[in-house]
Chain A
Amino acid sequence: QKEVEQNSGPLSVPEGAIASLNCTYSDRVSQSFFWYRQYSGKSPELIMSIYSNGDKEDGRFTAQLNKASQYVSLLIRDSQPSDSATYLCAVRSFRNKLVFGAGTILRVKS
């Protein structure tokens, strides 16, 4: 079992719709969770961090964390073609290192 699992996609949504990206993790003691967006050939760019159960909203992005289910998700409202990218779920592990999922490719169609 991988430490952090994501559906590789591609996830295709029409412009203006809500995109829902999901991630599960195996280490029950994990406390810090991150979503990075990566465009082809570019750096992973931090878009959300979440540390407590529940929802955290920032603009069009909402991160949701459920530690009991070991599940973290990212919702993108009013999806735009510019949101098309690979979304990486990362969990902070022992000694501060990040453990990444393989990423979900999101395609927003205009």
Chain B
Amino acid sequence: EAGVTQFPSHSVIEKGQTVTLRCDPISGHDNLYWYRRVMGKEIKFLLHFVKESKQDESGMPNNRFLAERTGGTYSTLKVQPAELEDSGVYFCASGTGNQPQHFGDGTRLSIL
């Protein structure tokens, strides 16, 4: 069974540009989560989808971040325009019901 896959693995962009991260959850997992780890800090929750609906977006830092999950399969997280403080590793996780979440390898985002 394929795990959670994220693309790209690394992204380097300049401040003010736009970046879109993609996550493909484990097949059949209705729950999809985005988390972020900034340098030296713990992994923090961003938002949670159940199928195509946003269940909880309390962790989204501001309106420069837009997450979508059209059709309830893969999800994208767009940052527009990117700022220096957005640098970090963005993780996606998926799960079913109350089962533990399984994580992807993350996208390392660097804003110059």
Whether a CB of chain B sits under 8 angstroms from the CB of A78 is no
Least distance between A46 CB and chain B CB atoms (Å):
5
Q: Check A98 against B101 for contact (C-beta < 8 Å).
A: yes
Which among B31, B44, B102 is the interface contact of A100 at CB below 8 angstroms? B44
In the complex, chain B residues whose CB is within 8 Å of the CB of A99:
45
Count, A-B residue pairs, CB within 8 A: 52
Given A41-B105, A101-B42: A96 touches B31 (CB 8 Å cut-off): yes
| Contact residue among A43, A49, A101 (Cβ-Cβ distance under 8 Å from B91) | A43
Cβ-defined contact, A88 with B43, below 8 A: yes
- Docked-complex contact B45 and A44, CB < 8 angstroms: no
Sorting the interface of chain B by its residue count into under 10, 10 to 19, 20 to 34 or 35 or more gives 20 to 34
Instruction: Choose among A34, A97, A101, A102 the residue that contacts B45 (Cβ–Cβ < 8 A).
Output: A97
Q: Which residues of A contact B (CB under 8 A)?
A: 2, 4, 32, 34, 36, 41-46, 49, 88, 95-103
Contacting pair A43 B106 (CB below 8 A)? yes
- Given A44-B91, A44-B103, A95-B48, A32 contacting B43 (CB threshold 8 A): no
Q: List 12 A-B contacts (CB under 8 A).
A: A32-B98, A41-B105, A44-B91, A46-B101, A46-B102, A49-B100, A96-B55, A96-B95, A97-B48, A98-B35, A101-B42, A103-B42
